Amino acid sequence: MQVNITSKCNLFCKHCHINAGLNRHEEMSLETMKHVIRLLPNFKILDITGGAPEMNNNYRWLIDNAINSGVHVMTRSNLVIMNESGYQDLPEFLAERGVEIVCSLPFYSENDCDRQRGSGTFKIIISMLKKLNALGYGLSEKLPLDLVYNPGGAFLPPNQSSLEREYKARLKSEHNIEFTNLFAITNNPIGRFREFLDRSGNYDKYMKRLFDSFNPEALPGMMCRFQISVGCDGRLYDCDFNQPLGLAIDEPDNISKVNNISQLTPRKIKFADHCYACVAGNGSSCGGTTA
């Protein structure tokens, strides 16, 4: 189960598919989180995302209760937030509970990272990665630390394994940083990335690139076939990309109405043109390539 617990974010990245920022105020309530916890025994993994999920006041409550349910918990983080007042003890909090951390690092060079995420972000992320390494993250099997690459423009990601080797070599030699896995994610043509494509006159070209790279071998690994995505207000979606497009599941339309997991599966997935981003080239999901 993937839960989007806030659209609020301390950053304003250019590629953000949900238009997150400090100007957004949607937040998952404690009541909705209780429904998440109620249904969790039916799932293996809870994947917590946002916005910056840490900015939801009940973030720690959700983690503690999910762990008590026996599922593996992973949290997405931009890491910059962990440098801000009120969040600085989060690395220790997450390490003590064995929470997997997935951090977006668009590239291993300062210029490329700062261009997408904002000036000064690279240096903070590097210092946070060092702190996480010192706690055992990225070094111990019990504390996975994953990085996310996404292209800095209207092109597809390169091969994930080669890129992972490149990231590992560069981060080790230049910063003495280690991490577990690299996830290469294709930019989905929605949200701020869609706005960029429109502004730069690249939308048609990008969509054609996705259509032309359609890979049937990526179909079995589409993440919508194995997960459910819960929005801040409890509405249910096939994936996080369908949320900003308003492509919610018809029935049941809210997690509060789910009494039995069989109500959600099998179901018809809501597809649209943006889905080509998941099945182009090596395939793409929140966990990286799929083919």
The answer to the question of residue 103 lying near ligand SF4 (CB under 6 A) is no
Do residues 226 and 245 lie in contact, with contact meaning Cβ atoms separated by under 8 Å?
Answer: no
Grouping H, G, I as helix, E, B as strand and the rest as coil, residue 288 is: strand
Do residues 188 and 207 lie in contact, with contact meaning Cβ atoms separated by under 8 Å?
Answer: no
The answer to the question of residue 156 lying near ligand SF4 (CB under 6 A) is no
For ligand SF4, the binding residue among 71, 125, 238, 290 (CB under 6 A) is: 238
For ligand SF4, the binding residue among 1, 5, 16, 39 (CB under 6 A) is: 16
Check the CA dihedral 222-98-92-166 and report its sign. Answer: negative
Q: What's the rounded Cα separation, in Å, for the pair 110 and 11?
A: 16
Do residues 7 and 55 lie in contact, with contact meaning Cβ atoms separated by under 8 Å?
Answer: no
Q: Is 38 or 123 the residue whose CB approaches ligand SF4 more closely?
A: 123
State the nearest-atom distance from the C-beta of 223 to ligand SF4, in Å. 5
Q: What's the rounded Cα separation, in Å, for the pair 211 and 205?
A: 10
For ligand SF4, the binding residue among 180, 242, 243, 282 (CB under 6 A) is: 242
Q: Is 113 or 222 the residue whose CB approaches ligand SF4 more closely?
A: 222
Do residues 107 and 151 lie in contact, with contact meaning Cβ atoms separated by under 8 Å?
Answer: no
Query: What residues pair up with 27 in beta bridges, in sequence order?
Result: 6
The answer to the question of residue 13 lying near ligand SF4 (CB under 6 A) is yes
The answer to the question of residue 269 lying near ligand SF4 (CB under 6 A) is yes
Q: Is 65 or 88 the residue whose CB approaches ligand SF4 more closely?
A: 88
Do residues 78 and 52 lie in contact, with contact meaning Cβ atoms separated by under 8 Å?
Answer: yes
Q: Which residues contact 205 (CB under 8 A, 6 or more apart)?
A: 154
Grouping H, G, I as helix, E, B as strand and the rest as coil, residue 267 is: coil
For ligand SF4, the binding residue among 1, 125, 132, 278 (CB under 6 A) is: 278
Window of 5-13, 58-66, 94-102, 200-208 that interacts with ligand SF4 by CB under 6 A: 5-13
For ligand SF4, the binding residue among 145, 182, 274, 281 (CB under 6 A) is: 274
Window of 131-139, 207-215, 220-228, 255-263 that interacts with ligand SF4 by CB under 6 A: 220-228
Interface with ligand SF4 (CB under 6 A): 9, 11-13, 16, 20, 50-52, 78, 222-224, 238-239, 241-242, 269, 271, 274-275, 278
